[in-house]
Chain A
Amino acid sequence: MERLRLVENPVDRLARTVEALLVIASKPLSVPELAAATEEDEERVETALGLIAGRFREGRSGVVLEHVAGGYAFRAAREAADACARLVERPVQRGLTQASLETLAVVAYLGPVSRPEIARIRGVAADSAVAGLVERGLIAEAGREREGGAVRYETTPLFERVFGLADRSELPDLEELGGDVEELRSRLEDVAGRRPA
């Protein structure tokens, strides 16, 4: 009688390897990075990621696979948030002021952008807000406008991870946010006159 042999699905084995890579990484790993590390093609890695996502999801596991900041990473399940909050603190997110958030928004939409450009949009100096965001790791230097020009800044992968964005394209369309030019112009005209000098 032919003996039964347990044949392992090769994608299962790859999924375990990808799990191991995600566990040791301190940042999200992209499909190309995973493919390079496992010496597999990207399509198979994506299949493996699909398997892992099924195993590690909210309600089933304390660890959840998420697609964030251009890659894949494990995070804690939301139901464990209270316990996590008692164990660790989050200096990056804590105490972000209105000025910091406005500066972050300018950098997120327009980056790379320099401090003078940020100040021109916000109407106040952005030095302190920029320094604070750099210190938190949410934005980083991204070269200069030209040789000897102002340093420009752009958001980091940490920004996307903290805000739970797969990438910056998930930010809402800027044109749809506030700022009705016609309404503002009519208000300005109301103040500035249209009265004969």
Chain B
Amino acid sequence: MAVAVRELPLDLDAFEGPFDLLLTLVLREELELRDVDVAEIVLAFVESRVERGGLDLEACGEFLVLVAALLELKARGLFPGEELDLEGLDPEEAAEELAERLAAYRRFRAAAGWLEERLAAESDRYFRLGVASLAPAPARPLARQEPEQLAAALRTLAAARPEPSLGHLVLTYPPLSRFLDRFRSLLSSRGRFAFDHEVDRLSRIEQIVAFLALLELRKREEARIAQAGPFEPITVWNASAS
């Protein structure tokens, strides 16, 4: 209420009395605004509001406007260049300026209200604006679910899975003895042979087993092996012949 703001009692360092008297003294330049602690005024107002209880928006709005005006006057006082503008400003002119400012704000607030109403009235006007953003997909509620169905689904998931068949990956290894016998026979008949030539047409697995057989012969000191370098042909000869 305006009455409440006007009668707000103030007890400041520079002034003691009701708020309306402070305002009058400031507007008549009979009180130095720089000496007035505006924060104390705000505190006094807040305390009075708390004491009265409830939220009086009109009183708060009125108070905010007046305190804002005081702060602006105080801020202007800090800039010497603008002091001249304020000199000679009588209370009536100050009130006039404040009223003009409030009226201007009210007009724009009303214009904002008009825009809001216009926006609501035009809410069914759709037009293309560049590439239209697609609206978020509507949430699709789940169909009715039965606990038994959920249990059945969980049982299906919990069941042990059958072991996958690796039948197609089974490898068959030829016996080592097959190559031992063959190489012994070659060594005894020819005395030496070229390993690469003997395994040239064999499968990779057979070549590996053949190589193991060769190493076995070397281990038993039945054969000697020579190779000029990595990946070079391997020559095998009878150990007893050398």
Do the two shown chains form a genuine complex with each other? yes
Given contacts A101-B112, A105-B115, A192-B20, contact A84 B107 (CB under 8 A): no
Residues of A within 8 A of B20 (CB): 191-193, 195
Residues of A within 8 A of B64 (CB): 123
Residues of A within 8 A of B114 (CB): 105, 171-172, 177
Residues of A within 8 A of B96 (CB): 185
Residues of B within 8 A of A104 (CB): 112, 115
B26 to chain A, nearest CB (A): 9
A174 to B103, CA, bound (A): 11
- B125 x A164 contact (CB < 8 A): yes
A13 to chain B, nearest CB (A): 25
- B108 x A109 contact (CB < 8 A): yes
Residues of A within 8 A of B132 (CB): 87-88
Given contacts A88-B133, A171-B111, A185-B96, contact A192 B125 (CB under 8 A): no
A197 to B26, CA, bound (A): 10
* B124 sits at the interface (CB 8 A): yes
Residues of B within 8 A of A76 (CB): 125-127
- B24 x A188 contact (CB < 8 A): no
Given contacts A91-B133, A123-B68, contact A175 B107 (CB under 8 A): yes
A35 to chain B, nearest CB (A): 22
- A192 x B103 contact (CB < 8 A): no
A104 to B116, CA, bound (A): 11
- B108 x A121 contact (CB < 8 A): yes
How many residues of chain B have a CB within 8 Å of chain A?
Answer: 57
- A81 x B27 contact (CB < 8 A): no
- B24 x A192 contact (CB < 8 A): yes
Residues of A within 8 A of B24 (CB): 192-195, 197
Residues of B within 8 A of A96 (CB): 116, 119
B116 to chain A, nearest CB (A): 6
A179 to B100, CA, bound (A): 8
From residue 46 to 69 of chain B, which have CB atoms closer than 8 A to chain A?
Answer: 62, 64-66, 68
- B119 x A181 contact (CB < 8 A): no
* B241 sits at the interface (CB 8 A): no
Residue pairs across A and B with CB atoms within 8 Å: the count is 163
- B103 x A180 contact (CB < 8 A): yes
Given contacts A102-B112, A162-B119, A181-B103, contact A189 B128 (CB under 8 A): no
* A80 sits at the interface (CB 8 A): yes
Given contacts A88-B134, A164-B125, A195-B20, contact A123 B105 (CB under 8 A): yes
- A179 x B30 contact (CB < 8 A): no
* B77 sits at the interface (CB 8 A): no
Residues of B within 8 A of A179 (CB): 102-107, 110
Candidates A84, A89, A92, A105; contact of B108 at CB < 8 Å: A105
- A121 x B111 contact (CB < 8 A): no
A76 to B128, CA, bound (A): 9
Given contacts A75-B126, A80-B126, A105-B115, contact A192 B109 (CB under 8 A): no
- Kindly list 18 other residue pairs between chains A and B, CB separation below 8 angstroms, not including A161-B127, A179-B104, A193-B91: A26-B128, A26-B129, A81-B123, A86-B135, A101-B113, A102-B109, A104-B115, A108-B115, A121-B104, A163-B122, A172-B111, A179-B102, A184-B99, A184-B102, A188-B98, A189-B95, A193-B27, A197-B28
Q: Which A residues lie at the B interface, using CB under 8 A?
A: 26, 66, 73-76, 78, 80-81, 84-93, 96, 98, 101-102, 104-106, 108-109, 121-123, 158, 161-164, 171-172, 174-175, 177-181, 184-185, 187-195, 197
Q: List 5 A–B pairs whose Cβ atoms lie within 8 Å, in order of A's numbering.
A: A75-B128, A88-B132, A101-B116, A161-B129, A197-B24
